[in-house]
Amino acid sequence: MSVLSVRAPLAWLGPGRLVEDALVVLDGGRVAYAGPAAEISVVVAGERGAEGLSGRAAPPQADQEIRFDGFVMPGVVDRHVHIGLSDPGAVLAGGVVAVRDLAWPPDVVFPLAEASETTAFNGPLIRAAGAMLTCPGGYPTRAAWAPSGTGLEVLGAGDAAARAADLLARGAVVLKVALNGDVGPTVTDAELVAICDVAHQAGTIVTAHAQGRGQAARALGAGVDELAHCPWSEHLSDELIEAMARRMRIVSTLDIHSGGRDTPELRTAVDNLSRFLAAGGRVAYGTDLGNGPIPPGIHVGEAFHLYRAGLGPERLLEALTFRPLAEGEPADLIGLARDPREDLGALGEVRLVVRGGRRYR
């Protein structure tokens, strides 16, 4: 794989690392250097052992150099998508370099996730949950958006544990469980605990679609690690919010309740998330891509909702990304026309996309 260097007047490399006249060198799908260009001397062909001004070994000579007149940052990661309902190429072109699919038939999504690791794949890196664990007749088995096999019904704690273990063995990176009491029955407490136990023993997490009165509290009590949506169907008490902030993460998906409008569901979700953030809770950017008119790529509307909920510019960029641009990290970055810390609208002005060390846009 060739060595690619990107130089820009301004780059956010990760929390606390805003760099002027930045240089990022990508080698073999990993970052070889990220920092001020002045700290690295010009590497002359054949002098790969040269040292930079900092005294460290210079990065390898670039086969291709990009002079980007804009703002560089790590690629965006969307932690809640249904990639089968979107175009992977459009997702990547829009600045999203990795996604986490939270419910799709395993026979379809796991091979797609494997294909996404190849250089020939035109789309983001895909990690997947496979099927959503639910009870007989529970969500999403009757949902219009969900193909057959999107929901995996369990019957009893033993069966729940076995099916959860099978999903992990097949390639699931997270287990998703349905707690949607608004549209039908949900798994029992014993089944929910069994699923959480299997995930935690395997070193992974459980995310839950918690909808309906009391479902967020059930998720917390059983050991669920994350809510796949910010709760919108009930106003959560301050006591519950504070307990959740100590133990759980929330994936935002705020704009599915808005579509550019002010709705009661959006107001409830933003209020819950604002108090969750004030209590020290962690939020991750996620859009539920495939649910209604959510655009592929970075969704500027979702970013604005996160800002309204209380995320300042630095924390918002953290929520949008996963790994920093630092030595040894994945060679994924994007370039924007302007600084999004000054104007969030810049997130919709993607001009450069590099995934796995390859330029896609």
Residue-wise DSSP of 166-229: HHHHHT-SSEEEEEETTTS----HHHHHHHHHHHHHTT--EEEEEESTTHHHHHHHHT--EESS
* Range 76-320 classified under CATH 3.40.190.10: no
For 245-255, the pLDDT digits (tens) are 999 999 999 99
Distance CA 361, CA 350 (A): 9
CATH 3.20.20.140 domain span(s) along the chain: 76-320
The rounded distance, in Å, linking the Cα atoms of 327 and 26 is 9
Mean pLDDT of 152-156: 98
DSSP string, 268-335: HHHHHHHHHHHTT-EEE----BTSSSPPSS--HHHHHHHHHHT--HHHHHHHH-SS-S-TTSB--EEE
Task: Evaluate if residue 348 carries a pLDDT over 90.
Answer: yes
- Which tokens belong to 216? 């967020």
pLDDT band at 41 (very low <50, low <70, confident <90, very high): low
Q: Is the pLDDT of residue 53 over 80?
A: no
- The CATH number, out of the four listed (3.10.25.10, 2.60.120.10, 3.40.30.10, 2.30.40.10), of the domain defined by the range 3-73+324-359: 2.30.40.10
Burial of 46: CB neighbours in 10 Å, binned 0-12, 13-18, 19+:
exposed
**Could you tell me the CA-to-CA distances from 250 to 88, 272, 284, 285, 353 in Å, in that order?**
24, 10, 6, 9, 27
Residue 60's pLDDT band (cuts 50, 70, 90): confident
Which of 60-69, 167-176, 349-358 has the least mean pLDDT? 60-69
**Does residue 46 surpass a pLDDT of 50?**
no
d(CA 279, CA 29): 38
Residue 104 pLDDT greater than 80, yes or no: yes
Mean model confidence pLDDT for the chain: 94
Which has the minimum average pLDDT: 61-65, 203-207, 249-253, 287-291? 61-65
d(CA 361, CA 347): 15
Which residues make up the CATH 2.30.40.10 domain(s) of the chain? 3-73+324-359
Which residue is it, tokens 């999107």? 150
pLDDT tens track for 207-227: 999 999 999 999 999 999 999
Bridge partners (DSSP) listed for residue 309: none
Question: Which amino acid, one-letter code, is at 265?
Answer: E
What pLDDT shows up at residue 28? 84
What global pTM score does this model have? 0.94
CA 299 – CA 17 distance, rounded (Å): 24
> What pLDDT was estimated at residue 57?
63
